Structure 1
């Protein structure tokens, strides 16, 4: 079996490479009409250029798994701003997409915590659909809508999980079917545990992005060994190996916070468990040190008997 490793958004090894440079709506309002347009175009062009830098960095280090920044386009979903961020940058979007396709890179988005389908407020659900449409439109502009995935959480419990989960399934009907096909769900560190998230994934036929750190912070009754086969099966309908989020606690008192790097001792029980199943997986590293944490974890694991490094960011498990 093979494990590939990736990271989130920004390669901190690179100088000034953030792909998430933004503009507040307050600042936007202070600008003239022409200055507003110029600023939106300037920041988006810079974010796309930095994304391209990141992709070339990833290729140089053989990193095949990467989460794109959700903030590539400033104020893209603001109700008073909505603007065409595709047409002015057709060349840039295509260049990014061509690189992704040529090297068969696995890319994803993770819309923010406000992208909710559990809220009793219609406006919040409508905004969630708008946000998902924004992310999907970026995939379309890159030409990778058939392989790119968008990961979200179920959301809040609002004091009644049974009613809320039912509302989640009902609200999700508002999401266009082509966008829903690109959606994944992730378990929470406080609210919806792995078992609850898995049930939602199975009902909606969407893949489950299992987060090991969240699971350890929010355990469910069935042992993980029983859930993993079903978790892996949720990926059967898409041509992708299961993706798993990996991080470790900042400390005992800050157990839910992500540390700068990943503690091998913390994840080793899970590594051994995955090894037993022999299932290829992709690990998305959610550590503060981002690319450096991903590459260090590859190096750390490669020193363990039975784990052989086969590329810059991949391990073969024997």
Structure 2
């Protein structure tokens, strides 16, 4: 078993494909949506074939694969219309061992809101994301990564809302969730117990951990141990995020590539075989550059 695998997010800059074409609600006619879905699925197929050719086994599917899928404007039975396309793409992922995931925006799926309309929208987004990963033939290791959300009206109430929402979700909206700490509101030490309480994986992000540190501070080895416990309890290979601070950007902004120092620190902290999702602006190009760095180091 490989000690770690590297993946990238949503777009291949090499292919100039992203499988995330969408439209405004005002333009979302059935014909327009069908055209966009067909285009996105064709691009996803090309991306997964590209990953297969290059030995890449970790990839995040963009949440706009099915445009406006969780919005009432999209009334299409897209899972029926495009069933054969999904079967074909699922076979590529299966034979090449690609672990897929999705990551709705915080605006699209918040756990902490008390507003019924926000909670309903989040549930619909989770149901959609679960269906996509199911149709792509993914096992339980394929997850929909969520942040907790905001902290209004106060932190205890918001966290209680998150607990209540996770308890209330139907199984098809809940069973693929992994919960990630963030760099603005919720620290690793706050999010980890939420994941534990609900039997869900906790996803570790060293950059978030540096930008919004816990009290007491969590080291990278401890952060990964926390995550490993939750993934391991489910018999799943852990997955972590890997990003570097953009040198001239605001705190938490992702850089174009991964700083080799951040990569070395993360790899050194691994205790079990794991996967890294590279969150870098240069997508697959950042992954390839990191691979070259590894090879150069071995050759030196």
Q: Pick the TM interval, shorter chain.
A: over 0.9
1:292 to 285, 294, 297: 285
Q: CA deviation at 1:210?
A: 0.5
Q: Structure 1 residues 62-71 or 173-182, which shifts more?
A: 173-182
Any idea what SS the aligned residue of 2:73 has?
Answer: coil
Could you say which residue in structure 1 is the equivalent of 2:209? Answer: 215
Could you say which residue in structure 1 is the equivalent of 2:159? Answer: 165
Q: Structure 1 pair 14/252, CA: closer, same or farther in 2 (3 Å)?
A: closer
Residue pair 1:7, 1:65 contacting (<8 A) in 2 also? yes
2:224 to 213, 222, 228: 228
The count of aligned residue pairs is 296
The structure with the largest alpha-carbon Rg is 1
Could you say which residue in structure 1 is the equivalent of 2:21? Answer: 21
1:72-91 alignment, distance < 5 Å? 72-91=65-84
Q: 2:128 and 2:249 mapped to 1: Cα distance?
A: 37
Residue pair 1:75, 1:82 contacting (<8 A) in 2 also? no
Any idea what SS the aligned residue of 2:179 has?
Answer: strand
Please report the TM-score for the alignment, with normalisation by the length of structure 1. Answer: 0.87
1:1-318 alignment, distance < 5 Å? 2-15=3-16, 17-28=17-28, 36-114=29-107, 115-144=109-138, 146-220=140-214, 221-224=216-219, 225-251=221-247, 253-274=249-270, 277=271, 279-304=272-297
Unaligned runs of 5+ in 1: 29-35, 309-318
Unaligned runs of 5+ in 2: none
Please report the TM-score for the alignment, with normalisation by the length of structure 2. Answer: 0.92
Q: Structure 1 pair 184/261, CA: closer, same or farther in 2 (3 Å)?
A: same
Q: Structure 1 residues 76-85 or 202-211, which shifts more?
A: 76-85
Q: Structure 1 pair 27/253, CA: closer, same or farther in 2 (3 Å)?
A: closer
Any idea what SS the aligned residue of 1:120 has?
Answer: coil
Any idea what SS the aligned residue of 2:251 has?
Answer: coil
Q: CA deviation at 1:181?
A: 2.1
Q: Structure 1 pair 270/141, CA: closer, same or farther in 2 (3 Å)?
A: closer
Residue pair 1:129, 1:174 contacting (<8 A) in 2 also? no
Residue pair 2:179, 2:202 contacting (<8 A) in 1 also? yes
Q: 1:47 and 1:291 mapped to 2: Cα distance?
A: 18
